Structure 1
Amino acid sequence: MTGPFKVAAVQAAPVFMDLDATIAKAVDLIDEAGAKGVKLIAFPETWVPGYPWWIWLDAPAMGLGNMVPYSMNSLVAGSPQDMLLAEAAKRNGIQVVMGLSEKIGGSLFMSQWHYGADGETISRRRKLKPTHVERTVFGEGDGSDMAVKDTPLGRVGALCCWEHLQPLSKYAMYAQNEQIHVAAWPSFSLYLGAAYALGPELNTAASQMYAAEGQCFVLAACATVSQAMVDFMCDTPVKQQFLQVGGGHANIFGPDGAPLLPFMDPTAEGLQIAEIDLAAIAVAKAAADPAGHYSRPDVFRLMFNDKPAPRVMSFADGSAAVAEAEEAAAAAQIAAVSHAAE
């Protein structure tokens, strides 16, 4: 897309552990963004049905009772709730990148689903490596989830939370000429002032540095923690001290790393909307392109396996792969013989 256009980053709490109510709230936010002329809206990490903060508040086993309702309220591809999001994107002519807990069979994944302005699915990616105790709830993605997609607005990619602390993951994204990046965060209101790297300062800096390193626009969507979420998960005074209401620090950063908007009140809900122009990327790229002219491939290179890694492969799939490899080997042998004959 040529010329400037509007994008939005969501700062809001979900209706925790309520799939249908959270989807309804998401649709309202999409409609609001569409009415304001926004062309792409970004939602926070696992916004549907909410981030499972109980894993940080006690031994993970103590929260196993929450897994039944959490699983039941996670989003399934092709479900009516999935269709409602697609319809909202199409109705408003807006791209939507939704952060969600995705249910596949008996497993959950920290996913980001990208809907096009026509309501069609552009991508469904999963967090490559859930962080720390997140691994007690969620499974892992694979290299195919580290993808940047061509869209009418530009080349769009997405990562979740502390994937922005992984240098190699970031470099794999930068190298795909990412122009618009969705950084999905769950809120910054856990262990405030008392724990390593869990507050707003470092995590906001991670979004800002991603913009500067990748010379791209970053839509840093950040959820808030509602009082209802605190009431649900904090059944002791100690837990109430650990998890606080608020924690929203959504913003949008330019390709020079500068914030494009003032921060909202961290307890407030709403849309951070900015007008962006991809032409600004050319100036940043001219100064420094770490995955391009500012790189040293003779010294450093990244090995990146971007192939899907299915948990189960049928014999039919295996046979096809073997046949393809055999055909390639035969072609190479014929080429070698032909070259020798010459």
Structure 2
Amino acid sequence: MGIVAAIQTPSVYLDSMACAQRAAERIAEVAEHGAWLAVFPETFIPGDPLYHDYAAPDSEPFRALERQFAEQAITIPGPETECIAAACRAHNMTVAIGVTERPARAGTLYNTLLYFGPDGMILGRHRKLMPTFNERMVWGMGDGTTLRTIETPQAVVGGLICWENFMPLARTVLYTQGEQIHVAPTLNPGSERWLSAMRQIANEGRMWVISVGCLLRESDLPPEVAALGLFEKGAVLNAGGSAIVNPNSEIVAGPAHGVETILYAEADMAETLYAKRTFDAVGHYGRSDLFGLTLRGIEIPLQIGDSSPMAQMSDHVWRVPQSVVAPAATHTGAEG
């Protein structure tokens, strides 16, 4: 049993360090409520590149915002990750947060989900496999090597970013690692289709699902961005729509639309075990004698054995580079 938190708060738009500082403030806040896990939206740092929906690619506003967005993408590790790591250490918090990542020696940006442990260690990094629609003008494609869970004392945590959650094979790869909490940072504003998908994932994986949407209002934009005239005065540009779903596919917190808020839930891992007694997608319903799954040419077992699910996976696929796992404070300028 433990409290988990879905943090629906706006980014400090196109200011990566200020975003990290805001995340640190919210980590402190949820710690006061007894939470052990804090989940932030997709690309919380440095914000949603929604100008792609409002400006022509060859327009001056588009080019100006595109350049600023790229400049505010972060390297991992870096000062922004150290800011979050320090908050995790101070408040004994596990964190999942969406960022836009720029490798130190490459020009391609990635839509990345970062995991921090309560000691400030970066436990994992997942790059979004398939940017959606015009997102392909912003982010590159992940290569699949980051489809892994993290193990914490409270639960096995995994996640997918936005429409990756509609990819059944990507979900299954995480299920095979014993996932108990699934985080789903998103830019979707909590539509009926999205919430139905979150309930389906909870039902299919028999686990907790924490969906955290991006809240962004015209009033949250810096004056120089608002002055471009792309966005209607006072408009809610993204309503958030965050929700928490239990292993019985019931929404137990949210959905929250159009407001800055933090959703909490008591997430009892015993509920995942009980729910799997009737259906276990990678156990007694796995039927590995009939079906097979491979990732990058490596066969993934569809039925979890007696050993740790993580121990069954190939080092070639699942190993996280030490430059990423090590405490951010001990590195400067390393490539992510």
Scaled by the length of structure 2, what TM-score is found? 0.81
Which residue number in structure 2 is paired with residue 323 of structure 1?
none
Q: Distance in 1 between matches of 2:88 and 2:10?
A: 20
Instruction: Tell me what 1:86 maps to.
Output: 85
State the shift of 1:263 in Å: 2.9
- Cα drift, residue 236 of structure 1: 5.9
Supply the distance in 2 between the matched residues of 1:215 and 1:68 (Cα, whole angstroms). 42
**1:21 — aligned with what?**
18
**8 Å Cα contact 1:187/1:224 also seen in 2:** no
Write the distance in 1 (CA, Å) between the matches of 2:131 and 2:187. 13
In structure 2, distance between residues paired with 1:137 and 1:9? 26
Determine the structure 2 residue equivalent to 1:106. Answer: 107
> Do 1:246 and 1:268's aligned partners in 2 also have CA atoms closer than 8 Å?
no
Which residues in structure 2 correspond to 1:177-326 (within 5 Å)?
A: 177-188=178-189, 200-228=191-219, 232=225, 240=232, 244-264=236-256, 266-305=257-296, 307=316
Q: Secondary structure at the match of 1:263?
A: strand
1:157 corresponds to 2:123: no
User: 1:308: how far off?
Assistant: 5.6
CA–CA distance in structure 2, aligned partners of residues 236 and 31 of structure 1: 36
Please list the CA deviations of residues 250-286 of structure 1 after superposition, one character each: whole Å capped at 9, or x if unmatched: 111111111112433x121121011111001112101
| Structure 2 SS opposite 1:287 | coil
State how far apart, in whole Å, the 2-side matches of 1:60 and 1:258 are: 41
Gaps of 5+ in 2: 299-315, 319-336
How far apart, CA to CA, are the structure 2 residues paired with 1:130 and 1:138? 6
SS of the residue aligned with 2:42?
A: coil
> Residues 61-80 of structure 1 correspond to what in structure 2 (within 5 A)?
61-62=58-59, 63-80=62-79
Structure 2 CA distance for partners of 1:245 and 1:68, relative to 1, 3 Å? closer
Deviation of 1:5 (Å): 0.6
Larger displacement relative to structure 2 (297-306 or 88-97): 297-306
Query: Partner amino acid for 1:141?
Result: G
Paired residue type of 2:255:
F
For structure 1, the residue ranges without an aligned partner over 5 or more in a row are 189-198, 310-342
| Contact 1:60/1:136, CA 8 A, preserved across alignment | no
Q: Is residue 40 of structure 2 the alignment partner of residue 48 of structure 1?
A: no
CA contact (8 A) 1:86 1:115 kept: yes
What does residue range 112-123 of structure 1 map to in structure 2 within 5 Å?
A: 112-123=113-124
The structural deviation recorded for 1:77 is 1.2
Distance 1:92 1:228 in 2: 30
| Paired residue type of 2:252 | L
Any conservation in 1 of the 2:187–2:238 contact (CA below 8 Å)? no
Kindly provide the CA deviation profile for residues 224-272 of structure 1, in whole angstroms up to 9, marking residues without a partner as x: 11214678379568x649x7445121111111111112433x1211210
Contact 2:241 2:254 in 1 (8 A): no
The alignment-based identity, stated in percent, is 30
Within the alignment, does 1:57 sit opposite 2:54 as a pair?
A: yes
TM-score between both structures, scaled by the size of structure 1: 0.80
Return the alpha-carbon distance in structure 2 between the equivalents of residues 49 and 157 of structure 1: 22
Provide runs of 4+ in structure 1 moved above 2 Å: 56-65, 228-237, 243-246, 295-300, 305-309
**Distance 1:220-1:258 versus aligned 2 partners, 3 A rule:** same
The structural deviation recorded for 1:56 is 2.6
Task: Write the distance in 1 (CA, Å) between the matches of 2:26 and 2:120.
Answer: 16
What is the rounded CA distance, in whole Å, between the counterparts of 2:255 and 2:281 in structure 1?
29
| CA distance in structure 1 between the partners assigned to 2:274 and 2:226 by the alignment | 47
**Cα deviations by residue, 1:61-110 (Å, 9 ceiling, x for unpaired):** 44233222111111211212211100001100010111110111322100
Q: Mean alpha-carbon deviation: is it higher for 287-296 or for 268-277?
A: 287-296
Identify the residue that residue 133 of structure 1 maps to in structure 2: 134
The SS at the match of 2:38 is strand
Alpha carbon RMSD of aligned pairs, Å?
Answer: 2.2
Structure label with greater radius of gyration: 1
Deviates more, 1:137-146 or 1:42-51: 137-146
Specify which structure has the higher proportion of helix: 1
Contact map agreement 1:54 1:60 (CA 8 A) in 2 = no
